[in-house]
Amino acid sequence: MNIGQFLDQRDLREIIHFTTNRGLIGILASNALKSRKRLHEDQYLRYILHVNARIRPEESDYFDKQEDWLDYVNLTFSEINRRFFDFSQNWHNPDEIWWAILSFDSEICQHPGVYFATTNNGYDHCLRDQGLTGLQDLFDSPIRRKPGWVAHRGSREGHLTT
């Protein structure tokens, strides 16, 4: 089985990314969805950047440095990361900021350099891998997140990750 076949088997059709209206303007202006790290390199985007969290675990010295995780874009299958979305809303003035949810074709999972993470990349027990194995890991049960916190598939639909 390959990634494309697994996507079909699970009926995985869309990859989701949420961003603020400022982020959406940046995406449209640059014609690209850029990683957090690359936003500062863009002469225009660095002035409209408004982060969703003061501290990113990926920036700390103890964090897994196998890759430069701030140079990756966080995406999810079929539904937004509701926990982080709710957290992010507290960082912005609702009179100035609104949210956009972008949907991409799941075929981007087959692009080179894609990593799959079993849970939030900042969580202690996050497992990251490339290829079919990494993708399949997202649907395992249980999935460890943090010490004392595991997620179970339960009755989740096949196109939703654990």
pLDDT score at 56:
66
pLDDT score at 58:
67
Residue 159 lies in a domain: no
Residue 162 lies in a domain: no
CA atoms within 13 A on the CB side of 29: 15
Q: Tell me how many domains the chain contains.
A: 1
Q: Which amino acid is residue 82, in one-letter code?
A: R
- Please say if the pLDDT value at position 106 is more than 90: yes
- Please say if the pLDDT value at position 127 is more than 80: yes
Q: Which amino acid is residue 25, in one-letter code?
A: I
Residue 132 lies in a domain: yes
Beta strand pairing status for 99-105 and 116-117?
A: unpaired
Q: How confident is the model at residue 35 (pLDDT cuts 50, 70, 90)?
A: confident
Residue 157 lies in a domain: no
Structure tokens at 26: 């940046």
Full domain range(s) for residue 136: 3-151
pLDDT score at 147:
94
- Please say if the pLDDT value at position 53 is more than 70: no
pLDDT score at 95:
81
Q: How confident is the model at residue 68 (pLDDT cuts 50, 70, 90)?
A: confident
Residue 9 lies in a domain: yes
